[in-house]
Amino acid sequence: MQWDIVIGLEIHVQLATKTKIFSGSSTAYGAEPNTQANAVDLAMPGTLPVPNEQAFRYAVMFGLAVNSEIERRSVFERKNYFYPDLPKGYQTTQLERPIVGPGYVDIDLANGESKRVRIHHAHLEEDAGKSLHEDFHGMTGVDLNRAGTPLIEVVTEPDMNSAEEAVAFAKKLHSIVTSLGICDGDMSQGSMRFDVNISLKPKGSDTLGTRTETKNLNSFRFMEQAIAHEVERQMDILEDGGVIEQETRLYNGDRDESRSMRTKEEANDYRYFPCPDLLPVEIDDTFIEDARSRLPELPDARKTRFKDQYGLNDYDAGLLSGDAKLASFFEEAASHGKDAKLTANWIQGEFSARLNAEEKTVADSPITGAQLGDMIIRISDNTISSAGAKKVFDALWTGENDNVDAIIDAKGLKQVSDTGALEKMVDEVLAGMPDQVAQFQNEEDPKKRKKMLGGFMGPLMKASKGQGNPKLFNEILLKKLEG
Amino acid sequence: MHNKSVAELSRELDSGKVSSVELTQDFLSRIKQEDSKYNSFITVTEEQALADARSADEQRAAGNATPWTGVPFAHKDIFCTNGVRTTCGSKMLENFVPPYDATVTENFRKAGAVSLGKTNMDEFAMGSSNESSHFGAVTNPWGLSKGEKRVPGGSSGGSAAAVAARLVPAATATDTGGSIRQPAALCGVTGLKPTYGRVSRYGMIAFASSLDQGGTMARTAEDNALMLNVMAGFDPKDSTSLDRAVPDYTATLNEPLKGLRIGLPKEYFSDQLSPAMEEQVRAAIREYEKLGATVKEVSLPNAKLAIAAYYVIAPAEASANLSRFDGVRYGYRCEEPKDLLDLYTRTRAEGFGTEVKRRILVGTYALSAGYFDAYYLKAQKVRRLIQQDFINAFKEVDVLMSPTSPSPAFIQGEKTNDPVTMYLEDIFTIAINLAGVPAMSVPAGFIDGLPVGLQIIGDYFSEARLLNAAHQFQQVTDWHQREPQ
């Protein structure tokens, strides 16, 4: 049987506010356990929440960026359940009246098509702390530093039909929130976490199947694997005539396996009700317009601009505009180096390869956009060959020297472009290879001729001690051989 | 000295006739000698009080005195006090010492007042007789001379008994459904529940957040005004407190009452009201007429629904507010928990008393899937109707008057096994919390030697008018000066 895959996502985005959503504690990551938890975060008796305006501003900016209506009056509710890392015994969140209403995000697919994924809503809430099960023999450690960190939970419609689409959406959302500067986007620290709702239905059917929810995926790779794994699991069950149980599952990325966390019957009754400690939040036009004025250029607009301004093709423009830091690195390099296409190639080639090999992000890059631009200039004006440029790049990367021209000088990478000198070398080399010259001149097949031409380049480069301009050598050779 | 009001003590301190240390020692020794009869204090902070008194005397000598500098008083044990045990009347918090002050506590500290300790209360403010305290019931000073052990009302029973017994001239209190006014009435003292949002709730341990309000208790209306001057005001730490100017509540106490329009809600003067109680209240109202007030009947048509709505909303909020008492971070924890569920269930089963558990269960039920609409949402609709009743009434009159409680103080144990009868103790007070308006209870006579209270209800933020009305009444009556034998 053929199946349609139906995927909806819930994404928790940690907001990059300095302090927590309802208290003045710092939200910085990595502090000693419980050093960033004050009386409010610890839910000491009598303490009360005070909303952090910046969290609301960020939520509104997000809503505007995903084409959503901003709800003028949003209400916080209490979601009641007991867990040691939930100090109040309830999470303060939004349910009936979320701050961000329906919207949408357009994603680009590998086949060049674009797809619209609808946002159902996004709401503000507080994060829980962390329960630490390792290093506490027979006990559980509780770290409340994270408790009260502001989150927006983004809930999509079930509009995605493959792992590829879900990952493309996730990456797009990552790109939007990092461009907005409302989230640091560091998935390894849990700044973005994904819950994936998956169901299958017979191909073409209108009726949705029973869905499962796989929780807390914190990388695009795990998300892709978890979806593949769950689709396969459900398909096996359905094809054996079984039924899918509505449940919440946990995926272990290291082992590529999942297990049931709780079934529908075991689900909590959260007993939501409006939080009486917080008044409804009224958002007025002034606040919305202020948030709008703070919106930076968003990935979609940037992509269009990259195509217009730098003449990039759709693919390059898409890749370079997605990540705000990469985009600004590209722009610095391209504005310096003048050749945007060549800059794009270097960023997607050598630059990305080195970052990946060393597990670095653009922010950690040892070379600046301006340095890369300087190097591009020297490629464009034929001062160095692309082989020479690789050596320059390496020297910049390792910090051996930070000046492109100084590296070229020190390493003797400057190409010989004096045609008189090059012609003389060609004459000498051809004089020493009469048989090959005759063979070339008798050959009619252009492919073979091209290959044979390469046979002269080796000796020429050797004669020029590697400094002859290959492009010029090529031109001179052809003139001499065909002339 | 112990029969003097806060205003009088303040003047004595000012004139140098007495020092704060002397006053503090005097009241501390009264507590030591007398309180075994009443059990009105959970914690007495003798050393801290004497240290504060010494520093208050220094402040007065240096000319930095407020009306409160050096005046002894006490806090209901629901207000967190930095470094001083705060129990909320519960085993759950028997050993809890907060590392912070409630805003109310901080305000009194800044004003230089000397706290002698923490007064007894119903556990987590849930009760109308102060019998649900983990630290034992409080006994009303009235009736003891006849050998009767009567309740002081609740939940601020400790504060009311301590003021009535002259162990302190004033005490803070809180009111969620009548917890200031009913004990004030039963103990013959004057109490004020301000408008919701007038006094910060920060550091005041929550029972039902949308109803809880901190307030005042003393023998005179003037002292209530002095207290409210310290307590009222916007607090950035409480999002539900209101940013509105605070008047000097003592400034308008002597305004004449001529032309004051008094409304009598007919629902509060039904044939179920005992003739004795009605007689006392009508007599008090006649005093107001002598002072130039006019009286008319008004209606609060939805008032009869108040108790039912309250006993959905208050327990619902309480069920969530009390979830933090889980044995994980502070407070009582059961011995040797087997696992997490055991930790939760035994900690809460052992740490909470019967009435608290009853209300958590009721609240949890009311919020459960399938019941939410029928209980919680319906109760909220009723609440809005009740608010509207008060808004309508205050278009016609300036204040409403009624009995504070249906009867005077009853014998301990009389109603403990009948929660619904106990809940009816608050039949005249509960609607006020649902509406969020301010109200007072003022001593207004006696039935069989037991004090009764007149409830005066005002429009939002009309505390000054209520205090004025109470003060003028106290200029022509002496019920508030009567001392239990």
Summarised one tens digit per residue, pLDDT across range B11-61 is 999 999 999 999 999 999 999 999 999 999 999 999 999 999 999 999 999
**B153-164 residue pLDDT tens:** 999 999 999 999
Q: Is residue B366 part of a domain?
A: no
pLDDT given for residue A312 in this prediction: 93
Instruction: Give me the pLDDT at residue A449, please.
Output: 82
Q: Decide: helix, strand or coil at residue B42.
A: strand
A37 and B CB contact within 8 Å: no
> Is residue A284 located within the same domain as residue A321?
no
Residues of A in contact with B102 (CB under 8 A): 46
- Do A278 and B204 count as a contact with CB atoms less than 8 A apart? no
Q: What residue has token string 């985009």?
A: A327
CATH code of the domain in which A429 resides? 1.10.10.410
The first and second tokens of residue B377, run together, are 């949402």
- List phi, psi (to 5°) of A103: -155, -160
* Catalytic machinery residues of B: 76, 155, 179
Whether the Cβ atoms of residue B155 and residue B125 lie closer than 8 Å to each other: yes
Looking at the fold, whether A380 and A283 belong to one and the same domain comes out as no
Q: Does residue B17 belong to any structural domain of this protein? A: yes
Report helix, strand or coil for B184. Answer: helix
- Would you give the DSSP letter of residue B73? E
> Would residue B176 count as lying in a domain?
yes
Looking at the structure, do residues A211 and A324 belong to the same domain, yes or no? Answer: no
- The answer to whether residues A394 and A427 belong to one domain is no
Per the CB < 8 A criterion, the answer to whether A384 and A393 are in contact is: no
Higher pLDDT, A264 or B483: B483
Does some domain include residue B339? Answer: no
A17 and A158 co-located in one domain: yes
Q: Which of B104, B174, B237 to mutate to test the interface with A (most CBs of A within 10 A)?
A: B237
Restricting to A residues 243-282, those with a Cβ less than 8 Å away from any Cβ of B are: 269, 271-273, 276-279
Quick one: closest CA in A to B373, which residue? A273
Flag whether residue A78 sits within 8 Å of chain B, measured between CB atoms: yes
Direct distance between the N- and C-terminal alpha carbons of chain A, in angstroms, rounded to an integer: 67
Q: Give the CA count within 13 Å in the CB-facing half-sphere of B370.
A: 2
Q: Assess whether A12 and A122 both reside in one domain.
A: yes
* Residue among A359, A358, A365 nearest A347 (CA): A365
Contact across the interface for A271 and B328, Cβ inside 8 Å: no
| Lookup: tokens for B456 | 């005066």
Residues A443 and A376 in one domain: no
Is B102 among the domain residues? yes
Surface-to-core class of residue B420, CB atoms within 10 Å of its CB (0-12 exposed, 13-18 middle, 19+ buried): exposed
Q: Does residue A279 share a domain with residue A201?
A: yes
Size of interface A-B (CB pairs under 8 A): 103
Per-residue pLDDT, B39: 98
- State which residues form the domain around A28: 3-291
**Lowest mean pLDDT: which of B106-110, B122-126, B198-202, B422-426?**
B422-426
Q: Which residues in chain B have Cβ-Cβ distances shorter than 8 Å to A49? A: 239
Same domain for A400 and A434: no
The answer to whether residue B199 sits within a structural domain is yes
For residue B262 the two structure tokens come to: 């008094």
Q: Per-block average pLDDT, block size 10, for chain A (483 residues)?
A: 95 97 94 95 98 97 97 96 96 96 94 93 97 84 96 98 96 94 92 96 93 93 95 95 93 89 84 96 96 94 94 90 89 89 93 92 92 93 87 92 91 83 87 87 84 85 83 85 76
Residues of B in contact with A44 (CB under 8 A): 80, 98-100, 329-330
The region of weakest confidence among B2-6, B231-235, B424-428 is: B424-428
Check which CATH number belongs to the domain holding B194 and give it: 3.90.1300.10
For chain A, the domain total comes to 3
* B114 part of a folded domain: yes
- pLDDT recorded at residue A268: 83
Does residue B198 lie in a domain region?
yes
**pLDDT per residue as tens digits for the range B302-324:** 999 999 999 999 999 999 999 99
Q: B132 is in which domain, residue-wise?
A: 6-258
Range A315-319 contact pairs with CB under 8 angstroms and sequence separation of 24 or more: A316/A341, A316/A344, A316/A348, A318/A108, A319/A348
Same domain, A82 and A159: yes
Confidence band, pLDDT 50/70/90 cuts, at residue B187: very high
Q: Which of A249, A238, A159 is nearest to A212 (CA)?
A: A249
Angle between helices A163-180 and A220-239 (to 10 degrees): 150
Kindly state the tokens that stand for A109.
Answer: 């697919």
Structure confidence by residue, pLDDT tens digits, B414-451: 998 888 888 888 999 999 999 999 999 999 999 999 99
Q: What is the pTM of this model?
A: 0.89
Domain count across chain B: 1
Residue where a domain stops, chosen among A392, A411, A430: A411
How near does any CA of chain A get to the CA of B437, in Å? Answer: 17
- Shared-domain flag, residues A473 and A381: no
How distant is the Cα of B236 from the closest Cα of chain A, in angstroms? 8
Do A366 and A280 fall into the same domain? no
Tell me what the pLDDT averaged over chain B comes to.
97
Nearest CA in chain A to B364: A271
Chain B residues with beta carbon closer than 8 angstroms to that of A273: 316-317, 320, 367, 372, 376
Q: Distance (Å, rounded) from C-alpha A352 to C-alpha A331? A: 16
Cβ contact A45–B80 (<8 Å): yes
Asked if A39's CB is within 8 angstroms of B237's CB, the reply is no
ipTM, two decimals, is 0.96
